[in-house]
Amino acid sequence: MHPAETSAPRPRRFTAAGPLTGRIRVPGDKSISHRSIMLGALAVGRTRVTGLLEGEDVMSTAAAMRAMGATIERQHSGEWLIDGVGVGSLLQPPTALDMGNSGTSTRLLMGLVASHPITATFIGDASLSKRPMGRVIEPLSQMGADFTAAPGGRLPLTLRGTAPAVPIAYRLPVASAQVKSAVLLAGLNTPGITTVIEPIPTRDHSERMLRGFGAQLAVEVAADGTRTIHLTGEAELRPQTIVVPGDPSSAAFFVVAALIVPGSDLVIENVGLNPTRAALFDVLRAMGGQIEEQDRREVGGEPVADLHVRHSALTGIAVDPAVVPSMVDEFPVLFVAAALASGRTVTTGLEELRVKESDRIAVMRAALELAGARVTETADGLIIDGTGGEPLAGTPEGAEIATHLDHRIAMSMAVAGLASREGVDVDDTRPIATSFPVFEALLAQATGLAEATGLAQATGQ
């Protein structure tokens, strides 16, 4: 069973605290952490990973790869060692693979299993069990895998993989890095060339890392931006030493918090700034946010910088839907920034948000309304009229924000609480551990609460 379902909900009120100051470091990138474990488990030999995100989602991936034969261990130093089995040599897992809350684990592992001659059952928590898997079932079926899923193509789901699988050329009907990655990972153990055509670019960590592990992968970019990715199958992966950069999707909460809490002046170190991930920071700058990059460098083949963020007067804007894939997980916290801006923010093209860990359009509309923001929900986005910097005044005593097992709703509304008159009551903070276990400790550190209460300083790693 899942931590967020077996233990009691952990409600918490987030209230206005001191400005965010000093320097913090957020944990490793979730997307890159999942992929490090998966590819490490498929290489022949020992992969070393530092900066791995030790959140529940990544641990679900690690448990599944162990169940299929890899040895994955954490050293006292915090480094992770992964002894892989080799492409084509995954073992039949003895029991169902428990994916917890993690859509990325589920969809990418479905890709891996699809081209191996094994059968695996995938189960997950209540949130994950509502999410559509048809988008992965479809291309993987074309490659020869066979599925029995709950109605609507949902978990629990049993996948019978096949070897040899059939190489396909697949044009993504939705802009999804998870679907792209599932097909590419299935292609690893498939003879011939597997092709994914991506009309709208999504995060490219899989491509970067597949290349890093020695797979033959070629990318063509057409004049209209369409990317065609060719992967040569029956690959032999070489073990790697990986340094995982800080997660921009986790940094996002602290960037917005520092922008909206008066007096804040915060440096967030080591933030991954892959262009397929970093659009939030550009949007916030366009709204007037003071976000300065310091010491731009490369970590683990990804661009990284320290972000210096200062409290800013934000102005609402119309967010270009073209940037949605490059900040798809950051809209909940952007909505919070918009609620504190002056004027109107309009977001469109967010249909995919309805099938994340929760329906993030409807859930954030309800949450922000309860917190006192002025919000209108449309089919594909939210329209938000901000307070112009005045604290949010809402949440009547006892009215709790419903987070629906969605970590990013809980953290976004925690940030809203920092800029509220009475505080914001979040019904359950347990889901935060899926992606950012040290969030609350870092928040206490940055707002000076940790010192005031004598709490140990969080390191973020």
Chain contacts with ligand S3P (rule: CB under 6 A): 31, 104, 176-178, 181, 202-203, 328-329, 352
- In angstroms, the CA 436 to CA 372 distance is 26
Closest to ligand S3P by CB, 203 or 365 = 203
Residues 243/249, Cβ–Cβ less than 8 Å: no
Residues 383/345, Cβ–Cβ less than 8 Å: yes
Closest to ligand S3P by CB, 47 or 181 = 181
Closest to ligand S3P by CB, 264 or 326 = 326
Min CB(123)–ligand S3P separation in Å = 19
Q: Can you spell out the DSSP letters for 75-110?
A: -TTS-EEEEEE-TT-PPPPSS-EE-TT-HHHHHHHH
Min CB(248)–ligand S3P separation in Å = 12
Closest to ligand S3P by CB, 251 or 328 = 328
* Residue among 84, 30, 24 at smallest CA distance from 54: 30
Torsion of CA 324, 326, 332, 336, to 10 degrees: -90
- Collect all residues with Cβ–Cβ distance below 8 Å to 1 and sequence separation of at least 6: none
Which residue bears the tokens 């928590």? 125
The one-letter code for the residue type at 321 is P
Min CB(328)–ligand S3P separation in Å = 5
Min CB(329)–ligand S3P separation in Å = 5
Report the residue closest to ligand S3P, judged by CB. 31
Min CB(433)–ligand S3P separation in Å = 15
Closest to ligand S3P by CB, 104 or 162 = 104
Handedness of CA 93, 35, 51, 415 (dihedral sign): negative
Count the Cβ atoms, other than its own, within 10 Å of residue 216.
12
The one-letter code for the residue type at 65 is M
Which residue bears the tokens 């004027």? 343
- In angstroms, the CA 100 to CA 97 distance is 9
Residues 105/61, Cβ–Cβ less than 8 Å: yes
Query: In the structure encoding, which two tokens stand for residue 110, read together?
Result: 């479905």
- Collect all residues with Cβ–Cβ distance below 8 Å to 196 and sequence separation of at least 6: 169, 170, 171, 172, 180, 183, 184, 228, 229, 231
Whether 224 is catalytic is: no
Query: In the structure encoding, which two tokens stand for residue 375, read together?
Result: 């919000």
C-alpha angle 296-250-397 in degrees, rounded to nearest 5: 140
Three-state SS at 278:
coil
Closest to ligand S3P by CB, 98 or 329 = 329
Closest to ligand S3P by CB, 190 or 202 = 202
Min CB(203)–ligand S3P separation in Å = 6
Count the Cβ atoms, other than its own, within 10 Å of residue 215.
23
Residues 337/260, Cβ–Cβ less than 8 Å: yes
Closest to ligand S3P by CB, 261 or 304 = 304
Active-site entry in 57, 204, 329, 428: 329
- In angstroms, the CA 387 to CA 373 distance is 8
Query: In the structure encoding, which two tokens stand for residue 394, read together?
Result: 């809402």
Closest to ligand S3P by CB, 282 or 351 = 351
Residues marked active site are found at: 329
